[in-house]
Structure 1
Amino acid sequence: MPRRRPRALRAEQPVSRVWGPTPPFRIHGLSTRASLAVHRVEYLSGSFSIHPGATDCALRRYREFLHPPGRRPLYPQESSCSCTWCSFDDVRHARDVLEEVLERLPEPARAELGRLVKPLDVVFSRRTLPDPFAHRRQWRTQFWWYRRLAERSEWG
């Protein structure tokens, strides 16, 4: 019986209906199993803000916002555009995405992603200032990161 070439064997392998021909990339700081769980949530989510790659983008944006060294206060900036990628200009939207993904993940992956987000939350809370008029705002939220002072955009 003649030997079959590796290319022929790979061509016969079934392609995953969920991921396509290539598996999704691994999210920095998460295990492979947790990254796959996050990608599964992103792929199967019907939410406007959760789409493939949104969690990785949100984590990068959150880290990038908190990256400048020093003790000066940071002020989240409102986004001027509400499309899915431009809305990440507002770090609070990035935190919204992380919270929504955390709610939908199974427990082991949720704990792993939570271990990445929790230290960032501590730094965010320490480097931003509380909004003294948050309780008077017409639009209120249960999320604490919206009750911090932010710079207003020239668009809104």
Structure 2
Amino acid sequence: MEWRSGDYYVYPGTTARALRRYQEFLAPQGCRPLYPRYARCSCRGCSFDDVRHARDVLEQILQELPPRPRLELKRRVMFLDAAYLGRTLPDPFAHQRQWRSDLWWRRRLADGEEGG
């Protein structure tokens, strides 16, 4: 599926990269909230600095996969989604700040640029 995709952000290895980024974001232990950070650049490499972009890519891949692999990936993503939802805070102004506020993972409070 990655080879056949015509999307700029979906290329061979991107599923593993998006999953790894999502897991890394949720890795810090503790009960303090986590805040996604905007990527400084929207190129293929830097865009994954924003965990929300990684989740966008996973959603697109889920939509394009055949049923069985989709189910396998969806189970992993759902587990991470539950952790993300529990470790981030809602953004009451997301509809004004986010270009894709229809996606629940983009309606969470963010904190500036990655590495900034």
Name the TM tier (shorter chain): over 0.9
Structure 1 position 136, deviation (Å): 3.6
Give the match's secondary structure for 1:94. helix
| Pair 1:74-2:9 in alignment | no
1:109–1:140 CA distance, 2 compared to 1 (3 A): closer
Gap runs ≥5 in structure 2: none
1:90-149 C-alpha deviation (Å, 9 max, x unpaired): 000000110000000011110000011001000000000000112344734321011000
Amino acid across the alignment from 1:125: L
Report which of the two structures shows the higher radius of gyration computed on alpha carbons: 1
CA RMSD for the aligned pairs?
Answer: 1.4
Q: Which aligned pairs between 1:98-117 and structure 2 lie closer than 5 A? A: 98-117=58-77
Give the match's secondary structure for 2:3. helix
- Structure 1 consecutive aligned stretches of length 4 or more whose deviation exceeds 6 Å: none
Structure 1 length as normaliser, TM-score? 0.70
Distance 2:60 2:98 in 1: 23
Partner of 1:50: 10
Partner of 2:112: 152
Partner of 1:93: 53
1:82–1:138 CA distance, 2 compared to 1 (3 A): closer
State percent identity of aligned pairs: 60
Partner of 2:84: 124
Whether the 8 Å contact between 2:98 and 2:107 is mirrored in structure 1 is no
Distance 2:45 2:94 in 1: 27
Amino acid across the alignment from 1:132: P
Greater relative contact order, per chain length (Cα 8 Å cut-off, separation 6+)? 2
Whether the 8 Å contact between 2:9 and 2:44 is mirrored in structure 1 is yes
Distance 1:137 1:84 in 2: 22
Q: What is the aligned length? A: 114
Gap runs ≥5 in structure 1: 1-40
Structure 2 length as normaliser, TM-score? 0.93
Distance 1:137 1:113 in 2: 29
